[in-house]
Amino acid sequence: MKKVFLALLVSLIATAASAQWHQYPPRTYYVHDDNWVAPLIFGGIAGALITREVQQQPVIVQQPVIVQQPQVFVQREPVCSEWKEIQQPDGRVYRERSCYQK
C-alpha cells in the first residue's frame, strides 16, 4: 500500500511540476521550454525509493553443525559352545565347537 501511495504522490508532483502556465493572450516574447528538469529530478528520487523498497534483503541460511563422537570399536571375545568329541568309524577322535561374535 505504501508503494501505491508513494507512486501516486510522485506522479502528482511530477504532473504539477511539468504543467505549463498558459496566459492569454499569448506572450509576445520567446519562452524556453525547459520544464523537464523538475520531473526528471522527482522521478529519479521516486524511482530510487521504489527500487530500494522492492529489493529483497539477502537471506543467510546457516547450515547446522553436526558433531559426531568417534566410534570406538571394542574387540569382544567370541561366545563359544562347549567342546564336542566326535569319534570317526576308523577310530580317530576329534574335538569341535562353534563360536560367534556378539
User: Does pLDDT of 33 surpass 70?
Assistant: no
How many CB atoms are located within 10 Å of the residue 42 CB? 20
Output the nine-digit C-alpha cell for 100.
Answer: 560367534
- The reply to whether the predicted model has a pTM over 0.85 is no
Q: Which among 74, 13, 8, 12 is positioned nearest to 38, based on CA atoms?
A: 13
* Mean pLDDT to the nearest integer, 15-42: 66
Residues 6+ positions from 86 with CB-CB distance below 8 Å: 93, 94, 95, 96
pLDDT value of position 101: 79
